[in-house]
Amino acid sequence: MPVRSKDNFLVFGSPLVGQEEIDEVVASMKSGWLGTGPKVARFESHFAAYTGAIHAAAFNSCTAALHLSLVALNLKPGDEVITTPLTFCASVNAIIHAGATPVLADVDPVTGNIDPECIRAKITERTRAILPVHYAGRACDMDAIMALAREYDLRVVEDCAHAIETRYKGRHAGTFGDFGCFSFYVTKNVVTGEGGMVVTRSEQDIQRIKVLGLHGMSADAWKRFSDEGYKHYMVVEAGFKYNMMDIQAAIGIHQLKRVEECLVRRREIWGMYDEAFADLPIGIPAPEEPDTRHARHLYTILVDEAECGVSRDRFLERMTKENIGVGVHYLSIPEHPYYQQNYGWKPEETPVATRIGRQTLSLPLSAKLTDQDAADVIQAVKQSLGA
Ligand SMILES: *Cc1c(COP(=O)(O)O)cnc(C)c1O
């Protein structure tokens, strides 16, 4: 007998959606204003207030947010941007689409975050920027990264897709670099279905990014159909179609109000997992570093076949048979054929990320989980190891 029945499959990353979100979406539908409008503006200002950022601009994904931030760096062909191999492909693809060359620096074996010493080793004459990812919600070593950026005159774009609640020495992730990019994809800590946000200190950059995110049309072009009356817009750059809709912001506004409450719940589940797994042969996440706040986006375990007697991929299958949804974050970037063929990257060149990528597995951690759900996950882990 599996731990759960098939019709009770525990979906990985299923979000907690409240009645407030549902009502707000319905209100948007009834108002007839579905596209970019006042709710997007409200979501941006609430998000800026929450993170302590000076400016925030919402888009239809974090991938879009990363792309726009990198375009705003005015990179030229041959310019290099250093990022981590232990990330979602979007971090790397955004660098490529901005016309630059991605360069990988290996991660720290304990944190899974980009290792500042590995960054230093990859800096060349052509390096222009660093793109750190706060992996699983754990803050990167921002003092060391920003010190490198100052020393070598590099720009910094923080990938905060996992890091909405993350803090480092009292400051919010995303507010250290030139840009911070957040995701509201369905599995993330705050969801809008699809959605993303750029935060920055620079008034000039946020204006340019907003223009680039809406076809390159002059400022506030989204208002061209509002009750202020039709105004001509001017196309000032070849932009993209990356704007967020009010329907998405309607969800985000209420999700953001509950962000701290949901973190409290995920911390509880995290504690249950830590306790239950302490004596098992699997690797569990390290405690959060002093003077940081971990956003608890992913609870990742490491399955080393030599220790556990089962391979990670076999373990994934067993969890699925127990009707528990699992994820992998991530097979390291050099495992994928595109990057091997176009950049010549080999997994063994970033060995720590490769090892983690081959052993890691993410367990359900949504604030929606009941104590019983968490107990089922724990039992399924034990059975998958023992069986
Ligand atoms: C989810 C994710 C992204 C992309 O976010 P989208 O909103 O889906 O575009 C980028 N980077 C990392 C690390 C992610 O986990």
Q: Taking all residues of the chain, what is their mean pLDDT, rounded to a whole number?
A: 97
238 plus 338 within the same structural domain = no
Q: Which of 70, 183, 300 to mutate to test the pocket of ligand 1 (most atoms within 8 A of CB)?
A: 183
CA of 171 to the centre of ligand 1 (A): 22
Are residues 164 and 235 located together in one domain of the fold?
Answer: yes
Whether pLDDT at 271 is above 90: yes
Tokens of 71: 């375009």
Q: Is 188 an annotated catalytic residue?
A: yes
Residue 192 and residue 51 in one domain: yes
For the domain that residue 294 is a member of, what is the CATH number?
A: 3.90.1150.10
Looking at the structure of the chain, the number of domains it has is 2
Tens digits of per-residue pLDDT, 69-120?
999 999 999 999 999 999 999 999 999 999 999 999 999 999 999 999 999 9
Instruction: Say if residue 239 is in the same domain as residue 338.
Output: no
Q: What is the pTM of this model?
A: 0.97
Point out the least confidently predicted range of 10-24, 120-134, 224-238: 224-238
Interatomic CA distance for residues 67 and 201, integer angstroms: 18
Residue 12 lies in a domain: no
Answer whether the bond into residue 50 is a cis peptide, omega within 30°: no
| Residue whose CB lies within 8 A of the most ligand 1 atoms, among 62, 95, 160, 329, for a mutation test | 62
Q: What is the pLDDT of residue 387?
A: 54
Listed residue (65, 45, 46, 54) closest to 243, CA to CA: 65
Residues 263, 378, single domain; the answer is yes
At residue 229, the pLDDT reads 83
The residue count of the chain comes to 387
What tens digit of pLDDT does each residue of 39-76 get? 999 999 999 999 999 999 999 999 999 999 999 999 99
Any idea what the CATH number is for the domain that residue 41 is in? 3.40.640.10
Kindly state whether residues 179 and 307 are assigned to the same domain: no
Provide the residue range defining the domain that includes 130.
19-257
Per residue in 308-367, pLDDT (tens digit) is 999 999 999 999 999 999 999 999 999 999 999 999 999 999 999 999 999 999 999 999
If you take atom 1 of ligand 1, which residue's CA is the nearest one? 161
User: Do 242 and 270 fall into the same domain?
Assistant: no
User: d(Cα 350, Cα 366) in Å, to the nearest integer?
Assistant: 31
Q: Which two tokens stand for residue 49?
A: 């207030």
Taking the centre of ligand 1 as the mean of its atom positions, its distance from the CA of residue 280, in whole angstroms, is 31
Helix (H) / strand (E) element for 20: namely: helix 19-31
Residues of the chain above pLDDT 70, percent: 100
Q: Domain boundary at 204, 224, 257, which?
A: 257
- Structural domain contains residue 239: yes
Which of 30, 76, 122, 188 is flagged as catalytic? 188
Q: Are residues 247 and 370 located together in one domain of the fold? A: no
Same-domain pairing of 138 and 197? yes
Residue 182 phi/psi, 5° resolution?
Answer: -115, 155
Q: Ligand 1, atom 2: nearest CA belongs to which residue?
A: 161
Per-residue pLDDT tens digits for 191-202: 999 999 999 999
Q: In this structure, is residue 89 part of a structural domain?
A: yes
Distance 6 CA to ligand 1 centre (A): 29
